[in-house]
């Protein structure tokens, strides 16, 4: 069983081909959203927690943002943040770069404010989307799929119908060597 996906340098395969724009702190979330909203093909992941997550919560937020950035559905990632200890922009960018994808950083204070950061970030995101659009889909084995599922509880039948259907799909994907949960 195969699907057409976007191969990544680290050996993973994405079913999608987005450029991720990640805010490293709550105060950069609107800036990241502004950048991504201007460029089709970008998707935003924001940290909306106010300053103050403490260890180990802060570590969990960083791990979550890093792992979102490593997702194979992202061809490359732009990390947006302030230049302060609470944001850890470089920590997040370095963690994502382990996936061998292009990772760029824009720091609001270093660039002179939000307007300059949006301008620079938009330029970088545009370049990244152009690079991503050059990646061609290839036929890949289902063993490369990682399916994330969530029970939304949206209808009275989700437990008996939708969840069962997703479970059956996961059984097939896992049977072919893929993963999910």
Do 26 and 93 lie in one domain? The reply is: yes
- The number of distinct structural domains making up the chain is 2
Q: Give the span between the Cα atoms of 10 and 78, in whole angstroms.
A: 18
Do 120 and 149 lie in one domain? The reply is: no
pLDDT at 87 over 90: no
Residues 6 or more apart whose CB falls under 8 angstroms from that of 84 comprise 25, 109
Do 151 and 107 lie in one domain? The reply is: no
Do 112 and 30 lie in one domain? The reply is: yes
Element (H, E) at 103: strand 102-107
Supply the DSSP string of 2-49, one letter for each residue: EEEEEE-TTS-EESS-EEEEEESSGGGHHHHHHHHHHSTTEEEE---P
Q: For the chain, percent helix, then strand, then coil, each to nearest 5?
A: 45, 20, 35
pTM: 0.87
Task: Say if residues 146 and 178 touch (Cβ distance below 8 Å).
Answer: yes
Do 127 and 165 lie in one domain? The reply is: no
Do 15 and 95 lie in one domain? The reply is: yes
Do 156 and 129 lie in one domain? The reply is: no
Residue 24 placed within a domain: yes
Residues 6 or more apart whose CB falls under 8 angstroms from that of 168 comprise none
Task: Say if residues 169 and 147 touch (Cβ distance below 8 Å).
Answer: yes
**Which domain does 162 fall in, by range?**
145-180
Which three-class secondary structure state does DSSP give residue 146? strand
Do 124 and 72 lie in one domain? The reply is: yes
Residue 139 placed within a domain: no
Q: Which residue has the higher pLDDT, 119 or 145?
A: 119
Task: Say if residues 31 and 41 touch (Cβ distance below 8 Å).
Answer: no
Residue 140 placed within a domain: no
pLDDT in tens, 40-65: 999 999 877 655 556 677 788 889 99
pLDDT in tens, 138-169: 999 999 988 887 766 667 777 777 778 888 88
Asked if the peptide bond before residue 179 counts as cis, ω within 30 degrees of 0, the response is: no
Residue 174 placed within a domain: yes
Residue 47 placed within a domain: yes
pLDDT band at 84 (very low <50, low <70, confident <90, very high): confident
Find the CATH number of the domain harbouring 128. 3.40.50
Residue 70 burial (C-beta neighbours within 10 Å; 0-12, 13-18, 19+):
buried
Do 75 and 20 lie in one domain? The reply is: yes
Residue 7 placed within a domain: yes
Do 109 and 150 lie in one domain? The reply is: no
Do 68 and 150 lie in one domain? The reply is: no
- pLDDT value for 54: 64
Residue 113 placed within a domain: yes
């Amino acid at each position: 069983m195969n699907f057409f996906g976007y191969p990544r340098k680290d050996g993973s395969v994405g079913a999608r081909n987005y450029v991720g724009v990640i805010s490293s702190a709550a105060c950069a979330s609107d800036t990241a959203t502004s950048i991504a909203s201007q460029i089709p093909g970008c998707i935003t992941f924001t940290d909306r927690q106010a300053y103050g997550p403490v260890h180990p919560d802060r570590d969990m937020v960083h791990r979550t943002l890093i792992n979102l950035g490593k997702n194979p559905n992202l061809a490359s990632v732009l990390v947006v943040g302030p230049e302060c200890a609470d944001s850890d922009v470089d920590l997040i960018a370095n963690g994502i770069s382990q996936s061998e994808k292009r990772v760029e950083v824009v720091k609001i204070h270093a660039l002179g404010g939000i307007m300059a950061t949006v301008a620079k970030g938009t330029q970088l995101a545009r370049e990244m989307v152009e690079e991503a659009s050059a990646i061609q889909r290839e036929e890949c084995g289902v063993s490369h799929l990682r399916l994330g599922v969530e029970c939304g509880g949206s209808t009275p039948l989700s437990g008996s119908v939708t969840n069962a259907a997703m479970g059956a799909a996961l059984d097939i994907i896992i049977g072919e060597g893929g993963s999910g949960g």
